[in-house]
């Protein structure tokens, strides 16, 4: 529906960041659904908030959760993107991409400036490395351990390390 979106975006006074009772912004919805052309159109619109979350999930988080690599690339090209903005439980875009096994998204996030590879969830204290080890995902684990500054011994709230969860 990119033509419809573009027609609406050309209207004076359009509210690009308006949310519904149970839905996110138009950008959030497009990132969730994988509508690359709509995301591109919205990102060109003045005033669009790329970090506005719905239920704690940002547009970047939704794109990472659903495996939309092209959208992740588009969002990371926006200077004001907060790559580490996490849900209420502390799950970051990198964490969800690791948990879902999206190695290309993980590599893209790791190549971006400012990504926090040691960011732990608030609820269980688990890091992206911890979750990747728990899933036995060698490709993601290999990508993570190659990052300068990764804490391979960072334990969760129960003092379980990535090595222990992989064993």
The per-residue pLDDT for range 100-140, each reduced to its tens digit, is 999 999 999 999 999 999 999 999 999 999 999 999 999 99
In the chain, the percentage of residues whose pLDDT exceeds 90 is: 95
DSSP conformation letters of 89-147 = T---HHHHHHHHT-HHHHHHHHHSTT--TT---TTT---HHHHHHHHT-HHHHHHHHTS
Q: Are 82 and 51 in contact (CB under 8 A)?
A: yes
The pTM of the full predicted model, rounded to 2 decimals, is: 0.96
* Per-residue pLDDT, 148: 96
> How high is the mean pLDDT of the chain?
96
Instruction: Tell me the two tokens of residue 70.
Output: 């092209």
Other CB atoms within a 10 A radius of the CB of residue 156 amount to 20
pLDDT (tens digit per residue) in 129-143: 999 999 999 999 999
């Amino acid at each position: 529906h990119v033509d419809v979106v573009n027609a609406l975006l050309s209207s004076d006074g359009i509210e690009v960041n308006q949310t519904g009772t149970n839905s996110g912004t138009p950008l959030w919805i497009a990132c969730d659904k994988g509508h690359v052309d709509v995301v591109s159109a919205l990102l060109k619109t003045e005033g669009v908030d790329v970090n506005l979350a719905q239920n704690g999930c940002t547009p970047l988080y939704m794109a990472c959760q659903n495996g939309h690599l092209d959208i992740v690339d588009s969002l990371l090209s926006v200077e004001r993107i907060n790559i580490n903005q996490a849900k209420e439980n502390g799950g970051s875009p990198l964490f969800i991409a690791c948990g879902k096994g999206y190695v290309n998204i993980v590599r893209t996030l790791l190549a971006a400036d400012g990504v926090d590879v040691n960011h732990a969830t608030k609820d269980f204290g688990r890091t992206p490395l911890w979750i990747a080890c728990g899933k036995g995902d060698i490709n993601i684990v290999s990508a993570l351990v190659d990052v300068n500054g990764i804490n391979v011994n960072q334990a969760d709230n129960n003092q379980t390390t990535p090595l222990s969860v992989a064993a």
